[in-house]
Amino acid sequence: MSTALAADNKERLSIVLVNGEEIYIRSGNSHTFLQDYQLYVKGTDTEGKRIWIELRRKELPLQDAIVTEGSQFVYSQNSSEVLNLTVDTIYEGADGVLVRFSPVYQYLDPRLPLPQTSAESLSNASDNTSSDRPQLETQAEGFDMPLFLFGLGTVLLATGFFAGKGKRK
């Protein structure tokens, strides 16, 4: 993970902590960002089209929203953007929903100290070329994408088969 500088339209430079990555969060679970921000998927409507997300820092609620696929969620602190993410896909299943957020951007919150992993990366960037650097996990634990796609295909095939039988009568 490396930090980068980004300039917004006010020409103020921001330190980018997460640069356009994707994350997956199951309903009832959360993803922890640097500087102790946590994004929770609190719930979904009955059709699985809208989800309720909440941003917290050290268990204190900061902002929540009801979003749909394609929605953007932005959290700013003192007119400095801290988190900017887009709800890319909402997968509905028997165990609830799995949400894919992409792209995801996190900027350094200037009121908080630099995260240890980022400061370490900055100081060791020139001499650390090993592949054992920590990576962000982008897939929910226990989620099997091929199995999910196989199940989805089976459901669609069965739906098509029974829909065809209904038309013949």
> Order of strands, edge to edge, in the sheet holding 50-57?
30-32, 37-44, 50-57, 60-68
pLDDT of residue 3: 47
Distance from C-alpha of 87 to C-alpha of 135, rounded to nearest angstrom: 22
pLDDT surpassing 60 at residue 165: yes
CATH code where residue 122 lies: 2.60.98.40
Q: What are phi and psi for residue 159, nearest 5 degrees?
A: -60, -45
DSSP 5-59: EEE-TT--EEEEEEEEEEEEEETT-EEEPGGGEEEEEEEE-TTSSEEEEEEEETT
User: Lowest-confidence range among 20-24, 35-39, 102-106, 132-136?
Assistant: 132-136
What DSSP state is assigned to residue 131? S
> Span 8-27, mean pLDDT?
77
| Domain annotation covers residue 26 | yes
pLDDT surpassing 70 at residue 131: no
More confident residue, 169 or 148: 148
> Span 114-136, mean pLDDT?
50
| Domain annotation covers residue 163 | no
If phi > 0 it is left, if psi is from -120 to 50 it is alpha, else beta; for residue 38 that is beta
| Domain annotation covers residue 129 | yes
| Domain annotation covers residue 169 | no
| Domain annotation covers residue 105 | yes
pLDDT surpassing 60 at residue 64: yes
| Domain annotation covers residue 166 | no
> Span 155-161, mean pLDDT?
85
Neighbours of 27 (CB within 10 A): 20
Entry pTM: 0.62
| Domain annotation covers residue 149 | no
The parent domain of residue 40 ranges over 4-138
User: What is the tally of structural domains in the chain?
Assistant: 1
> Span 149-164, mean pLDDT?
83
pLDDT surpassing 90 at residue 137: no
User: Lowest-confidence range among 19-28, 30-39, 75-84, 109-118?
Assistant: 109-118
User: Lowest-confidence range among 5-19, 38-52, 89-103, 120-134?
Assistant: 120-134
| Domain annotation covers residue 119 | yes
